[in-house]
Every structure is written in structure tokens, then in C-alpha cells.
Amino acid sequence: MRIERKIVFSNLINLVLIVAIGSFAISYLNSISEQATFLSIADSLNASFLEMRLSEKNYFLFNDNTALKSIQDRISQTQDQMNSVRDDIVRVIGQDGYNELQNRLNSYSAAVSQAGATDARDPQTEETIREAGRQLKDSSDAITGQERQHIEHNITRSKELLLLAIGAVFVSALVVSRSISGKIIGPIRQIERLAKSISAGNFKKIEAPIPRDEFGPVIEAINSMSEELEEREEEIIQSKKLASMGVLVAGVAHELNNPVNNISMVAQAYDELYDKLTPQQRREFMQKVDRETGRIKKIVDNLLDYGKPKEPNPREVGINSVIGKSMQLVQNTLNISKIETTLDLAEGLPELFVDDNQIQQVLINLILNAAQAMEEGGRLTVKSSLDRERGMVDITVADTGKGIPAEYLPYIFDPFFSVKEEGGTGLGLSVSFGIIKSHGGNIRVDSKAGIGTTFTVELPVPEEKGTT
Amino acid sequence: MSEKIMIIDDEKIVGDMARISLEEDGYEVETFLTAAPALERLKEAPFDVVVTDLKMKGIDGLEVLRAVREMSPKTKVIMITAFANLDVAIEAIKGDVFDFFPKPVRIKELKESIRKALAQNGGQNGEQPGK
């Protein structure tokens, strides 16, 4: 179900719940107010009965017949009162209860009339009056007592109902908001994680089943964006590689000149001195030619290998050999630029699980950048070392060039940002960053204007290798 | 006493091939793979011609040229290089280089250049070379 509908639906449920509880509460309050009205009637009846009994007591004490008269008046008043609220009384104590009350009133009235009929004091009659009066008062007490109980009961029920209602609304709100926020927060967290991993150059997708709510289309869009970026990144890596090949080829062409010259000189000497050379020397000459062609082949192979588009293909490699290969490709470019190189490679480094082709691309990119920063010559230092504590192999590429202005440092890994005066695509470092991040590593820069720049590439040591 | 030729090139084959050909012509040849020991040797013994590679680890060809000019003004310096670059050529000419060869080097042309250099020196170390 869509989240919007869920919210509307759950609000409706809560509304119905509140209306139902409100109705119940109102009906309870109505019945309490009715009962309170009746209680006041019952109280006034009770007061009448009490007065009758007071008059009764006066009669017995002072043998005063006017007291009997006043009882009779009270009885007839009470009878009128009872008739007027008969329905209310019946509702509370039932028809039988009402009849019994009526009978007792009648008996009391009869007993009082009987006593008034004669002046003589008859103990029997007196006793009948007393008994009837007591019974009448008892009934009346019972009615008020019962009604009080009803009211208390209803108040308690109302309290319970309200508490229950508050609890129910609370629970329902909790459940609904939990389920809705779960529906919202879950996907948002997933999207957040994915965005982080994409910005680190790791083009994953959200693998969880696509929800059918509003997040479905969002997640699908993000997934297809990630896919698209992954395809584009390969294109960018490849184009960047071909761009740096232009620089490399210039250097490599000069490097080819050496073996070509060697072969040429051997051939010339062979031709010139053929008659004077011993068979053994001739053989040695040809072996030299063969070795030099081997050298040429290796240089050409390296270049071809570098230019080929390649699927990322991690395998176990010694990082020093990757550094060595990279240096071979750039050595001549460095020589031309009057750059001295220092290699400081730690021995016994654990093998890394990396795509050597991609790491080589990163190193070549860093080294060529360093060379471009040292137009007037300088020193390039490439170092490898193991950081046991963090389980990382660090590779630093340091130059003594002009440095990167501090205000540019935060942006140098951004795509299309370049500090080079001309010819920088602004993609080299961004692609390098992506490659290193996708290897679970990190790339840092430290630069001081006029002193030089140091790039540090950190690559994780595979766990099973440990750091022993 | 035959003319003394020094060859400095970090590519061993260059020295080997140049030597075998030059010795055939009667020159006395010494080869070095780096410049530092070559310059040490120059302090001990005079050479008529120094053939040096331009691009080498440590001391490069231009520095060799300057050092030779200082130590032994009469010695001719011929430079060979795997890459030709105008700036370097200008600097070499300013440093009074005798000749400049891009690789691949034609041995005959190199020998011709050496002969001219020796002729300019007026056979300082003896007669014209010959078989």
C-alpha cells in the first residue's frame, strides 16, 4: 500500500476510535447525570420519610394527635412525589421494588390512620406504626444506597473506559507511526548508504525487494543511476587512460630509441667486421640483437596492455612489482624532465588483492602529475610501507614541485577540477580516487606551495593475510 | 701512440660496438657506463675525443661536456642522444660540443666525426689513424 494511503487510513482509524470513545463517555456521563437527578429525588423522598418518623416519635413521646395529622400530610405529599417520578423509580428499583415501596407506604398510612381513629394508646398499633415506618425508611435508604452505588460504578467504568481509550489511541498511534516511519526511514537509510557508497566510487545497487510505495520509483531511479554511473565510470577510466597514454607514448618513443640504436649498431659492426669476427662473436652479436628486440617487445607490450580497456579484475599481486612496472613506463618521461627518482620500497609486504592494471593507472597518473609539477626538474620519491595497525599498505608519491595552493586542496579529487594551466582534463585524480575507493582504500594529499606535494594511496591488506 | 677515445653510455652495447669498430681502426678505446668514473679517469689520462650519451643517471652528458671543457680544453666532445630536443642542442653548442648524433647512430658517421675532431687537434697524440 502507498504510504500516503496508509497515513490517511490510520488517521481514519484513530478518528473512529476517538469518536467511539467520546460517544461512550458522553453516554456514561448522561447516565451519571440522570442518576444524580434521581438521587436528589430519592434524597428528598428519604427526607420526607425521615420527617414522618420524627413526627411519629413526637406522637409517641407527647401523644400528640397533630403529629399524626402531619404524618398523614407528609404521606400524601410523598405519594404525589412518588407518582410524579414513578418512571424514574421503576427504572432504578424495578416495578416489584416500586410496588413494595408503595405497599409499605400504604401499610404505614393505614397504621397511622388506625392510630388516629382512636385516642386510646394501643401498644399493638404503635408497634405496627413503628414497624411500617422502619420498613419504609429501610426501603428508601436501600434505594438511595443502590443509586449511589450505581453512580460510583458508572464513574469507575467511565474512568476505566477513558484510561482504556487513552491507552488504545496511544498504542494505535505508536503502531501506526512505527510502521509508517519504518516504511520511510528504512528506505531513506538504504538510499543514504547507497549514496555514500556511490560517492566513494563503489557502484552498488539496493538489493532489497523494491517496495510498492512511494519509495519504489525512487529506489528504482537510484539503482538505474548507479548502473549508469558504473558504465560511465568505465568509459571515463578508459578515456583518461588513453589521454595519459599520449604523454606516455612521447616518453616511451624515446625509450624505444635505445634498443633500436643498439640493434642498429650491432648490425653495422657485424657488417663492417664480418670477416674478422669469429663464429663465436657472430653468434654473440646475433644474441645481442635478439635480446634487444626482446626489450622492444616488452616496452610495446606494456603500452598495449596499458591501453586496453579492462574489466576490473582483482588478483593477488605484490604492490612493489606494480610500482616497478609503472616506473618502467614513466622512466623516460621523468628523464626528459630532469627528474631524479628515489624508490624506497619496503621488503616483505603482504600481497594485496587488487586490480594491478587499475592501480598502475593510478600510480602513473600520480607520477605524471608530479612530473608536470616539476617543470624545472626535481626529485620524485615513491615509497611503499606497511601500516600494521591499520592493516594498510601505504604508497606515497612525493614531488618537490611547485605545490598545490591550499585553497584548491579540497577540490582536487572532484571531477573536472584541474590546477594545471593547460591540458588538464580534471579527471585524472577523480578517476584515481574512484579506483582506490572501489578497492576499499583511500587517497590523501598533502601539499605546501613551493615545497612539493605528497599523495598517499592506502590499500587494505586482505584479512587472511593479517599483518604478521 | 694511437689516439685515445673515451666512450660513455649507459647502454653497454653502444660502448662495445663503437670500441670493436674503432679498435679495428687502430684507436685506443676506453668505455664507461656512467660519467663519474669516466671523469675520474680523465683526470689521470688525457683523451683526444670523448663520446658521451646525453641522458644518463647521475651526471648527464651536458655536465660531462662542461667538466671536460674545464679539465681538458683540447679534448673534443661528441654527444649522442636517444632524443633530440632543441634546448639541449643549443646548450650543447654553447658548451662547444664538437658534434651531435641522434640515435640510432651510424658508426661510419661517428668515425668520420672522430677523424675530423682529431684532425682539428692536429694529431696531438701522434699520426693520422690508419690501418
Q: What is the pLDDT of residues A309-330, one digit of tens each?
A: 666 788 899 999 999 989 988 8
- For residues A410 and B64, give the distance between their C-alpha atoms in angstroms, rounded to a whole number: 45
| Same domain as A432, residue A317 | yes
Residues of B in contact with A335 (CB under 8 A): 55
What pLDDT does residue B126 have? 40
CA distances from B64 to B13, B47, B88, B97 (A): 20, 13, 13, 11
Cis peptide before B104 (omega within 30 of 0): yes
Contact B86/A at CB under 8 A: no
Q: Is A90 part of a structural domain of the chain?
A: yes
Of B35, B43, B46, B40, the closest CA to residue B10 belongs to B35
Residue pair A299/A257 in contact by the 8 Å Cβ criterion: no
| Same domain as A166, residue A304 | no
CA distances from A415 to A283, A308, A426, A442, B21 (A): 56, 23, 6, 17, 57
Q: Looking at residues A261-278, what average pLDDT do you find?
A: 94
Return the biggest CA–CA distance within chain A.
184
- For residues A134 and A104, give the distance between their C-alpha atoms in angstroms, rounded to a whole number: 10
| Same domain as A296, residue A148 | no
What pLDDT does residue A468 have? 45
Q: Percent of chain A at pLDDT above 70?
A: 90
Q: Is A218 part of a structural domain of the chain?
A: no
CA distances from A119 to A59, A69, A110 (A): 12, 13, 16
What pLDDT does residue B76 have? 95
Q: Is A225 part of a structural domain of the chain?
A: no
- For residues A329 and A80, give the distance between their C-alpha atoms in angstroms, rounded to a whole number: 122
What pLDDT does residue A425 have? 55
Give me the number of domains chain A comprises.
2
Q: Is A94 part of a structural domain of the chain?
A: yes
Contact A177/B at CB under 8 A: no
Q: Tens of pLDDT along chain B (131 residues)? A: 689 999 999 899 999 999 999 999 999 999 999 999 999 999 999 999 999 998 887 888 999 999 999 999 999 999 998 876 777 788 888 888 999 998 899 999 999 999 999 998 775 544 444 43
Of A330, A348, A258, the closest CA to residue A296 belongs to A258
Sequence spans of domains, chain B: 4-120
Q: Domain with A353 in it: what CATH number?
A: 3.30.565.10
| Same domain as A130, residue A48 | yes
Residue pair B52/B88 in contact by the 8 Å Cβ criterion: no
Strand partners, B50: B6, B77
Q: Which helix (H) or strand (E) holds A43?
A: helix A3-62
- For residues A468 and B98, give the distance between their C-alpha atoms in angstroms, rounded to a whole number: 60
Q: Is A242 part of a structural domain of the chain?
A: yes
Q: What topology is assigned to B4-120 in CATH?
A: Rossmann fold (3.40.50)
Q: Is A306 part of a structural domain of the chain?
A: yes
Structural domain boundaries, residue A297 = 235-465
DSSP 3-state of B110: helix
Q: Is A403 part of a structural domain of the chain?
A: yes
Cell of A265: 649498431
- With a CB cutoff of 8 Å and minimum separation 6, the contacts of B79 are B51, B52, B53, B54, B61, B65, B92, B97, B99, B100, B101
**What is the pairing mode between strands B4-8 and A452-460?**
unpaired
pLDDT band at A247 (very low <50, low <70, confident <90, very high): low
Note whether A269 contacts B107, CB cutoff 8 Å.
yes
- For residues B15 and B11, give the distance between their C-alpha atoms in angstroms, rounded to a whole number: 7
Instruction: For chains A and B, count residue pairs whose Cβ atoms are closer than 8 Å.
Output: 57
Note whether B104 contacts A257, CB cutoff 8 Å.
yes
Å between A308 CA and nearest CA of chain B: 27
| Same domain as A168, residue A26 | yes
What torsion, rounded to 10 degrees, do the Cα atoms B50, B55, B57, B62 define?
60
Note whether A272 contacts B82, CB cutoff 8 Å.
no
Q: Domain with A119 in it: what CATH number?
A: 1.20.1440.210
A111-131 per-residue burial string, b: 16 or more CB within 10 A, e: under 16 = bbeebbeeeeeeeebeebbbe
User: Above 80 in pLDDT, residue A1?
Assistant: no
- For cell 520509483, name the residue: A217
Arithmetic mean of pLDDT over chain A: 83
What pLDDT does residue A450 have? 84
Q: Looking at residues A417-422, what average pLDDT do you find?
A: 61
Å between A431 CA and nearest CA of chain B: 32
For testing contact with chain B, the best of A258, A264, A327, A340 (most B CBs within 10 A)? A258
Residue of chain A minimizing CA distance to B53: A258
**Which residue would you say has higher pLDDT here, A305 or A174?**
A174
- For residues A200 and B106, give the distance between their C-alpha atoms in angstroms, rounded to a whole number: 55
User: Above 90 in pLDDT, residue A463?
Assistant: no
Q: Mind listing the pLDDT tens digit for each residue in A98-122? A: 888 888 888 888 888 888 777 667 7
Of B70, B88, B71, B87, the closest CA to residue B79 belongs to B88
For testing contact with chain B, the best of A268, A288, A289 (most B CBs within 10 A)? A268
Residue of chain B minimizing CA distance to A272: B21
| Same domain as A252, residue A173 | no
Residue of chain A minimizing CA distance to B25: A273
Contact B21/A at CB under 8 A: yes
Q: Is A450 exposed, middle or buried (0-12, 13-18, 19+ CB in 10 A)?
A: exposed
Q: Is A212 part of a structural domain of the chain?
A: no
